[in-house]
Chain A
C-alpha cells in the first residue's frame, strides 16, 4: 500500500458513503420489495471497512508514541481548523474495535429488524464512520464535530427501533450527552482562544494556570463523565440500554462508552495534568463508587439488560480508576513505577469490556428475539433447550466476572495491581469487584441458564442458528485470545502510554 494512502479517511468516509448507498438503494425501489440486497450491501460495506482497517494494525509502527497514518489538510481557514487525522497506540485499538464490532451488529440485526431495515443498517454504518472519526481526529473541533454528530444516528436508532419507553430513553440519552458535551465545546473554544490552534497536540503543550486547568478539567469531565458514564451521571445508561434494540445496546456498550475513557487520555490527562493531579481523589472516589455501589445495584436487577448496563458502569469505573490512580502513584514515588500498569489496565479494560459487554448484549438479544422478554424471572433452565447458546453465555459471563484466562481478567488485574502502588484501600475496594462482579453475573446465569426448565416457553426454545453461532464464536475467540495472550495489545499501546505518562508527570503551570 502506498505510503500516503489516506487510510483513515477511507475508514471514516467509506461507511458513511456506504450507509447513504443503502438508503439510496432502498429509495430506488418503492414499495419495499426484497430486503436482501440492502442487508448484503450493509454487510459488505462493514466487512470491507474491517478489512481496510487491518493494515492499521499490521502497518502500525510499535515503539513510538508519534501519531501515525497522519492526514492533515486545512479545513476552516478562518478558525485555523484542520482536517487532521492520525492514530497512536491509544486510539488505534479502539478504531479496530469499532470496525470489528460493526459487522457483528449488522449480522445481529439480520432477520430481527422488520421495520425500515434499510434505515437501520444505514444508521449503523454512518455511526461507524463517525465513531472512527472520533477516535482518529487530532483537531479539537473536528473531534467535536464527530463526537456530536454521532448523537444523531444513535438518537434515531433508540427512538425508532427501541422498546416501549424508547422516546423517553432516547431523549434522555440525547439531552444528557448533549449537556455534557457543550461544556467541552466551551473549553475547546477557550483553548483555541489561548493557543490560536485547534490541534489537540498543540493543546497538550499549552501552559495553563491551575485555575484555568481546573475549570477546563471540570468542563471536559462533564462531557466525558456523562459518556463513560461515571456515577452520578450514569442514569441515562440503563434506560438507553434497556430500550435500545440489540444492535444499539451493543454499540453503546462496546464503543460509545469507550469514547468517554478515550477522552480522558486524549484530553483531560495531557491538557490539564496539574488539575488532574490535584483532583485525583475526586476521580478515584467516583470510580470506586461506580465499582462498589453500582456493583450492588447490579445485584438487585430483575431485567437482564439493566443488569448488564449496571455492570458496564462498574467496569468502566475500573477504566477511570486506572487512569487517575496514576497521579496517586506519582505522589507516592516520583519514579512512577506501576503508573504504566494503571493506564494499560484501563485501556485493556476498555477493549475487553467492548468485546465482553457487546457479547453479553448479543446473548440477551438472542434470548429476547425468541421470548420477547428481558426479565430474569421469565427464564430458567435455558441450558436444557439451548445447550450451545448456554456454553457461550456462560463463557461471556465468566469474562464479565473477570475470570483468569478471559480478557476481563487482564484489565482488572492490572488496575488492581496499580492501585496497590497508590493506596492499599483503593486496591481493596477495587478488589471487591471480583466478588461483586462474580456475584451479580453468575447469579443471573444461575437463574437464567441453569436449573429446571422454568416454563413452557423455555421448553420450546430453539438453539442458536449458524448466524448467531458464528457471531458469538468470533467474539468468544477474541475474548479468550486477549485473555491468554494480551502481549500484542500491550505492545501496541506501550510507547504511547509511556509518552503520555512522561507528559503527565510534568507540570505545565506557568509562573510561580
Chain B
C-alpha cells in the first residue's frame, strides 16, 4: 500500500476523536463523582476539536483513503458536522439529567464518544467492512448505554432485547455482505458498483445478499417490520440515552443507506426499491397508527420515529437525486426535532421523577407558557405543519416522489401524516386545554433552559427560512 493509497490524513477527524476519547478516558479514571463536570467539559471539547478537524479538512470533491475503503465527500462532511453538533447537544441536555438521576459515572460520556466514533466511521465507509466496523462500534456502545442505569430492571431488560435483536440483525447484515462479496468479487462499494454496471454479477447470490443487507439496514433504522426493539428500548433507556438513540444514529443510518444503497448499489435500484417501498409504507402505517395508543411519551415518540423513518425511506426508494436530497434533509431535520422533543422530557424531569407520561404535560401552559410553546412548536413541526421545518421535510420527500411518478405513494404518505397529526395534537391539547395535574413549575438549569429554547426556535426559524439548509443539501448530493 503506497502512501497515496493510504491517504491517512483524510481520516483525521476519526483519529482526533479517538485520541481525544482516550484522553477523556484516562482523565476520567482519576476523577471523583463530584468532579464529573470535567469529563463533561472535556467531552464537549473532544467533539469541538473533531468538528474543527472535519471543517478544516481540505476536500476536493470525493476522496478515498485506505485503498478505497474510506471515503470523504461534501455530503459526508455535512453529515459529520451535524452528527457532532447533535452529539454536543445531547451532552448538554444530559448533564443536569444525569446529576438529577444520580447517574454520575463518566462512562456515559465515554460510551457516547465511542458511539460517535462509530457514526463517523459509518459516514465515511466506502467498503462493506468499514461500514460494518463503524456499525458495530456504534451498536455495542449503544447496548451498554441502554443498560447504563445499573439498578434499573426495565433498562437492563431493554438492553438485553436490544442486544439480542441487534446481534441477529448484525449477523444478517454480515451474511448479506458475504453474499454480495461472492456475487461481485469486491468488498469496496466502488468495486461493487463497477461490477453491477458491467453486468458481471451473479444475480441469485446478489439478490439474497441484498435482501439480508436490507434486513440489517431496516433493523438499524427501525423500519417496520424490524422495529420491535425500538419502542422498548426508547422507553426503557434513561431519557438521556433515548435522546442519544433518537438523534445521532439516525444520521448514521441515513449515511448507511446513502453509501450502500445509493452509491454502491444505485444501479440495482429496481431490485431494492420494491423492498424499501414495503418498509416505507409499513413504517408510515404502523408507526402512525400505533403511536395513537401510547400514553408514555417516550414510547409514543418511538413510534413517531418509526413513522418518520418511513417518510425518510420514501425519499430513498425514489432513488432520484431529489429523493435522496429529500431523505437527507428529512433525516437532518428529524434530528433537530427529536432532540427538542426528548429535551423537553428532560427539562420537565426532576429528581426522582421522569416526565415521561403524557399526563405529566397536562396544563403545562398554566405552569410554564414558554416551554409549552416550545413543545407546541416541536409537536406541530413533527406533525408536518407549516411554518415549521418538518413541513418542508415532507414537501421535499413527497415532491421528489411525485416527480418520479409515485403520486399514489405521496397521497398515502400525507394520509398517514393526518393520522399522525392526532397524537401530536394530543400533546398540545394536554398542555393547553387540560388543567394542570400538579402545580410544579419546571425550574431547569440555565443552560438547559437556553438550549431547549434555542432548539424550539430553530424549528421555527428553519421553517420560516428553509432555503439555506435545502440548498446545502442539494449542493452536497449531486444530481
Contacts and interface: CB of A to CB of B under 8 A. Distances in A.
B432 A171 contact: no
B410 interface: yes
B5 interface: no
A175 B395 contact: no
B470 interface: yes
A178 interface: yes
Contacts of A186: 398, 402, 407, 410-411, 414
A29 interface: no
Interface string A24-56: 000100000000000000000000000000000
A426 interface: no
Interface residues of A, number: 37
A182 interface: yes
B467 A76 contact: yes
Contacts of A76: 392, 466-467, 470
Interface of B is mostly: helix
Interface in B372-416: 376, 380, 385-387, 391-392, 395-396, 398-399, 402-403, 407, 410-411, 414-415
A182 B428 CA distance: 20
Nearest to A26: B369
A149 B386 contact: yes
A189 B365 CA distance: 36
B429 interface: yes
Contacts of B395: 79, 141, 185, 189
Given A148-B386, A193-B402, A160 B414 contact: no
A171 B429 CA distance: 9
A84 interface: no
Contact of B418 (A156, A182, A193): A182
Nearest to B405: A193
B412 to A, nearest CB: 10
Given A141-B395, A186-B402, A189-B402, A167 B429 contact: yes
Interface in A133-178: 141, 144-146, 148-149, 151-152, 155-156, 159-160, 166-167, 170-171, 174-175, 178
A417 B470 CA distance: 52
B471 interface: yes
A170 B422 CA distance: 11
A148 B385 contact: yes
B418 A178 contact: yes
A190 B402 CA distance: 6
B391 A145 contact: yes
A376 B223 CA distance: 55
Interface in B81-97: none
B422 A183 contact: no
Interface residues of B, number: 35
B140 interface: no
Contacts of B470: 76, 78-79
B460 to A, nearest CB: 11
A179 interface: yes
A151 B421 CA distance: 12
Contacts of B418: 175, 178-179, 182
A424 interface: no
A192 interface: yes
Contact of A145 (B386, B399, B415): B386
A178 B384 CA distance: 11
A182 B399 CA distance: 13
Interface string B432-447: 1100000000000000
Contacts of A3: none
Contact of A171 (B387, B407, B425): B425
A174 B466 contact: no
B421 A75 contact: no
B369 A27 contact: yes
Interface string A432-470: 000000000000000000000000000000000000000
A190 B406 CA distance: 10
Contacts of A182: 414-415, 417-418
A375 B372 CA distance: 36
A77 B392 CA distance: 13
Contact of B432 (A27, A159, A179): A159
A175 B429 CA distance: 13
Contacts of A167: 429, 433
A183 B432 contact: no
Contacts of B380: 152
A300 to B, nearest CB: 31
A88 B417 CA distance: 34
B108 to A, nearest CB: 35
Interface of A: 27, 74-79, 116, 119, 141, 144-146, 148-149, 151-152, 155-156, 159-160, 166-167, 170-171, 174-175, 178-179, 182-183, 185-186, 189-190, 192-193
19 contacts: A27-B369, A74-B467, A75-B467, A78-B470, A79-B396, A79-B470, A149-B386, A151-B385, A155-B428, A160-B433, A171-B425, A174-B425, A179-B418, A182-B414, A186-B411, A189-B395, A189-B398, A190-B402, A190-B407
Given A76-B466, A159-B432, 17 more contacts: A77-B471, A148-B391, A149-B385, A149-B387, A152-B376, A160-B365, A160-B432, A167-B429, A175-B418, A175-B425, A178-B418, A178-B421, A186-B402, A189-B399, A190-B402, A190-B407, A193-B403
Interface of B: 365, 369-370, 376, 380, 385-387, 391-392, 395-396, 398-399, 402-403, 407, 410-411, 414-415, 417-418, 421-422, 425, 428-429, 432-433, 466-467, 470-471, 474
